[in-house]
Structure formats: C-alpha cells, structure tokens
Amino acid sequence: KNQVEQSPQSLIILEGKNCTLQCNYTVSPFSNLRWYKQDTGRGPVSLTIMTFSENTKSNGRYTATLDADTKQSSLHITASQLSDSASYICVVSDRGSTLGRLYFGRGTQLTVWP
C-alpha cells in the first residue's frame, strides 16, 4: 500500500532555532516529492520539489533532502521565524504530472515561539 508518513506530528521550537521534519514514503514507482507549507486558514503552497536524481535542494532557509534508496526525505528549517509556524505537508507523486497520482502525508504542525 502506497503511504506517506510524516514525523513528528507536531513540534514547538523557539524563534531562531533550527528544526528538521521527516517524511518516509512507500510510494512506488516514484516520480517526485514536494514539500508544501500550509498557514492556518490558507491553502498549501509549494516550497520545493525533489526528483529521483536530487539529493539536496535549498529555498532560502528551507533545505530539503531526499534519499531515494531508503525512501526518506527531510525538510530542514534554519534560524526559524515566527512566520514559519504552519503545517508542512509532504506529497509524493508516483508518475509524471499527466498520469501521476499524489499521496499526501498528514503534515507536521510547527509552532515557533518568540
């Protein structure tokens, strides 16, 4: 059964600290993995996409990693800010966009305290 599991379910950190969110998947075949950020009361917004051949990709203070062999991805947030408080959702696609199906994780709820 294709699944996407995220951990931790929730996380509280102090402003300025770093954190790492995890995503493990069993989706096969694998096309790409996206991290979305969903602010409270808003729709998700894409942060980064990882394809099979990519190991690391950065977007500002966000750095995503992918280990396609172990089927694990992480999202590292550096020097957290209050605006980072949100739910971070891992989404895996099993094929290209035309035929691909998307598998969603339940998200990690991050709270950044001042």
Partner 1 sequence: EADIYQTPRYLVIGTGKKITLECSQTMGHDKMYWYQQDPGMELHLIHYSYGVNSTEKGDLSSESTVSRIRTEHFPLTLESARPSHTSQYLCASSDTLSDTGELFFGEGSRLTVL
Site for partner 1 in 63-82 (CB under 8 A): none
How do beta strands 108-113 and 10-14 pair? parallel
Of 18-26, 67-75, 78-86, 103-111: span binding partner 1 (CB under 8 A): 103-111
Q: Strand pairing partners for 67?
A: 72
| Smallest separation (angstroms) from partner 1 to the CB of 72 | 18
Please classify residue 45 by burial: count the beta carbons closer than 10 Å to its beta carbon, then call 0-12 exposed, 13-18 middle and 19+ buried: exposed
Q: How far apart are CA 49 and CA 18, in angstroms?
A: 21
- Determine if 53 is a binding residue for partner 1 (CB under 8 A): no
- Determine if 42 is a binding residue for partner 1 (CB under 8 A): yes
**Summary count for the chain: helices (H), strands (E):** 0, 11
From candidates 64, 107, 110, 112, binder to partner 1 by CB under 8 A: 107
Q: What angle do CA 54, 57, 63 make, to 5 degrees?
A: 135
Judged by beta carbon, residue 46 or residue 81, the one nearer partner 1 is 46
From candidates 1, 9, 28, 114, binder to partner 1 by CB under 8 A: 9
Which residues of the shown chain bind partner 1 in the complex (CB under 8 A)?
4, 9, 31-32, 34, 36, 41-46, 49, 51, 89, 91, 93, 96-98, 100, 102, 104-107
